[in-house]
Structure 1
């Protein structure tokens, strides 16, 4: 079974501060691996990017999803250059991370999930929302993702021993 959700990811040497750049795409969880699928180049700058970030995909809805870099299949994800694939058996640690500050009024933190694996240089950071889309409920959403990844990694390790 495969589950997927829009998401953002990056690899980084430190998790002490929020990363400045993220790859926008889709996160896929299969029975055996995490696939961080790179999108097709979102609108991230200028007036259109600012409106889209502030309005939570208003431009994407306006154009009927045709410009949505987060809507694609697992097969498409596997064929893209910036896609990161991590077998659950290769996951060494999974943790929640957060940083002070958020663009969203009334929210004082931004959240992510850190995955440690030898498959990438540094740490793999996953976010279910970015900018104003990483809302106050982000802690619970990211904690659920962390738990799901940790359980999948533990089950995979138990199966290989």
Structure 2
């Protein structure tokens, strides 16, 4: 009888420990998923920011202040998420940095063009016909493809091997 009681209690302890470990793993994956989704959202926000500038409706102080605040928030968000990614995965940090570097020149040019343009005064002017950074979806897609290596069994891949795989697939230069 004592043996049965010990086995029953022992299996409950093991089951509880396994349940606790699995819950922790799930919670960690949820945090990673949400943070990486925020990283992709910030890449898209960087692509969209010049369009916000170009579609401003006036050069009044309030409008300019709102755009400046948006730009500052974007920069702060990019710095924060870059720091988080570098602690979570140095290899994905390289991918994110490469994505930002790829966006840098077209972003600066589009912002410059947008600030030099007159504010929008009619609905027809909202159609920007040819303005902007062009199609940059491939950069966002690059980050999304890299993210598949941070979940499931691929997450266990050592950094040196992950870097080699991402280079082979053209995700890292």
Name the TM-score, length of structure 2 as normaliser.
0.24
Greater RCO, 1 or 2 (C-alpha within 8 Å, sep 6+): 2
TM norm structure 1: 0.25
Decide which structure has greater helix share. Answer: 2
Query: Greater share of strand residues, 1 or 2?
Result: 1
